[in-house]
Amino acid sequence: MTKRRLPKPSELREILRPKPFVLDPTERRLGRAHTIPDLRTIARLRTPRAVFDYTDGAAELEDSLRRARQAFRRVEFHPNVLRGVADVDTSTTVLGKRSALPFAFAPTGFTRVMHHEGERAVAHVAQREGIPVSLSTMGTTSIEDVAAAAPEARKWFQLYVWRDRGAGLDLMRRAHESGFDTLLLTVDTPVGGARMRDVRNGLTIPPTLTPRTFLDGAMHPAWWFNLLTTEPLQFASLSSWGGTVAELINHMFDPALNFDDLAWVRENWPGKLVVKGIQNADDARDVVKHGADAVLLSNHGGRQLDRAPTPLELLPPTLDAVNGDAEVWLDTGILSGGDIVAAIAQGATTCLVGRAYLYGLMAGGERGVQRCVDILRTEIVRTMQLLGVRTIDALRPSHATLR
């Protein structure tokens, strides 16, 4: 028979200790986020459906995005033991400069649609964390304002080649004069992808009040209040637009873009040049021959051509094709620090994350972006320690294979 007794009050006090109540609602929300999918769940509750779907969605059946995420899920790690991993160094060198973490913030359009703090919040976190931040041509904060918000951050500018070449020249000049040291030339948007969630939601940029959006707004009053009481939402690098994203791309960007245009950009941009949107090894080799310092394997987050190649699977043949003449970067489908470690092990120099930090931005503004970085850093460090790896440079393909 088990002998029983009544617990002493002192024993109960040790067990029944309620968690301190956090008064700040943003801190309370973010305290529940332990993974990027947790941030995504909070973001979905905090923003109107059309805004969340613009961030979360992809083109057509969304197979490109799904495949990219599935590729990371198929990674099998192969750890070494007894390697002494009490101290782990997550820093790496990207185009000749050190980054405190092996990832950068990707360029994202309409960022102030997700949260009124927008690109400035992202730049603040990048400066604080010592990682690069990218500003999109389709951003909602100007080149100069981002530069002023984070003067010490490493800043990259993403460029689309417009039908109006003079506008492109002006953007490159402004970016260079504002201290942006790298240009990301996006080449996978000759026309806009069919982003069906945006079509079905009737999303326009900026959002317009229709009966449907008004009803949705009633469920998200804080988002609408912030939108309507802060600086007007508009494109910082182009004139206002009242249509969908795909319509804007088709109207503004040049589908005749070719290698001559790449040479034109290379001639007119004095800093480092990265070609973004490479989806086969031959193209990677060719853009390097035309002066690219790095290639970014990307299917635009699955938002352009559905059933496009998966960047992680494209990485090994691209490395062979480039043969050390340029860095190879990667984006799309990254939702954890383990994903980043896997890509670096497979040979990527760095990764760009987009949706991950936008989920954080929607969940809690600048503090949400910071929470995203904290989560990814924790996961990167833990994954490296469990692999028995102390530095980013020590990661090898043998540490992470695709099953």
Bridge partners, 135 (sequence order): 157
* Catalytic residue positions, numbered: 300
CA distance 56 to 355: 7
Can you read off the two tokens belonging to residue 177? 């004069």
- 239/201 Cα distance (integer angstroms): 23
Region label for 312, one of left (φ > 0), alpha (ψ between -120 and 50) or beta (otherwise)? alpha
Backbone angles phi, psi at 361, to 5 degrees: -60, -45
Give Cα 250 distance to the centre of its chain.
23
Q: What is the bridge-based pairing of β-strands 92-94 and 97-99?
A: antiparallel
| 197 vs 236: CA distance, rounded Å | 25
Beta 133-135 vs 155-159: how paired, if at all?
Answer: parallel
Please identify which residue in the block is written with the tokens 């995420």: 69
* 317 backbone φψ class: left, alpha, beta (φ>0; ψ -120 to 50): alpha
**In 3D, which of 402, 318, 299 has the Cα closest to residue 63?**
299
List CB contacts of 89: < 8 A, sequence separation 6 or more. Answer: 390, 391, 392
The secondary structure of 253-289, three-state, reads ECCCCCHHHHHHHHHHCCCEEEEEEECCHHHHHHHHH
Question: At which residue do the structure tokens 């976190």 appear?
Answer: 125
Best CA proximity match to 377, nearest among 349, 396, 348, 356: 356
**What's the rounded Cα separation, in Å, for the pair 216 and 44?**
12
As a whole number of angstroms, the distance between CA 145 and CA 27 comes to 27
Helix, strand or coil, per DSSP, at residue 182: strand
CA atoms within 13 A on the CB side of 368: 29
